[in-house]
Amino acid sequence: MTRSKKEVIQVAAARLFRDRGYTATSMRDLAEAVQLKASSLYNHISGKEEILKEICFETAERFLSAMEEIEKEKVSCTEKVKKLIQLHIQTATSDVTSITAFNDEWRHLSEPHLSEFKSIRKTYEERFKSIIQEGIETEEIQEGDPTVILYTIISSVRWLYDWYKPERNVSPEILKKGIVNILVTGIVK
């Protein structure tokens, strides 16, 4: 199974979008990255936005299906929250590029994709928030605004996408332990 040319283009695009941003990446930049002329890209993709759209939706679907798995598990809410934090770290470290599109570049989508994307994202966040809320009700989790807790968790791993590089020799496992520890038990002794 070799990668289709379309996949090669998508991977290169995800990297360029991360490095320069969607708007600042031209189709000529992208063409050069995959050793093609700009016009030849259009034999594989229908346009610039289609690439962004597919990156955003693929990442969103991945988060949503992981959420489904975690919801099904018969573990405490705290355990579920831990797994969700690990999921975000895993995604950010294993797929450094498309996570950017998912975090930052989706706003360049045009309608109807923009609304559809926001709605999927909203669904994911609501389900995450429900787990937090349940944890507060069962008194596993400290009293607090679930929205504040939710976004603080989601944001807290956002630095990884431009910090994490395999050359640093910091394994995702060490990161998971460290970050989960901060968020779950705090930084003070």
The contact set with a second copy (CB under 8 A) reads: 20-21, 23-24, 78, 81, 104, 107-108, 139-142, 144-145, 148-149, 151-159, 163, 170, 174-175, 178-179, 181-189
Rank residues 64 and 183 by Cβ distance to a second copy and give the closer one.
183
178 binds, among a second copy, DNA, none (CB under 5 to 8 A by kind): a second copy
Q: What is the 3-state secondary structure (H, E, C) of 142-169?
A: CCCCHHHHHHHHHHHCCCHHHHCCHHHC
Judge contact between 99 and 161, C-beta under 8 A: yes
Size of the chain in residues: 189
| Both tokens assigned to 54 | 């597919």
Q: At what angle do helices 172-185 and 77-94 cross, to 10 degrees?
A: 140
48 binds, among DNA, a second copy, none (CB under 5 to 8 A by kind): DNA
CB of 33 to DNA, least distance (A): 12
Interface residues with DNA (CB under 7 A) are: 5, 25-29, 36-40, 42-44, 47-49
Helix (H, G, I), strand (E, B) or coil at 119: helix
Find the shortest distance in angstroms from Cβ 138 to DNA: 50
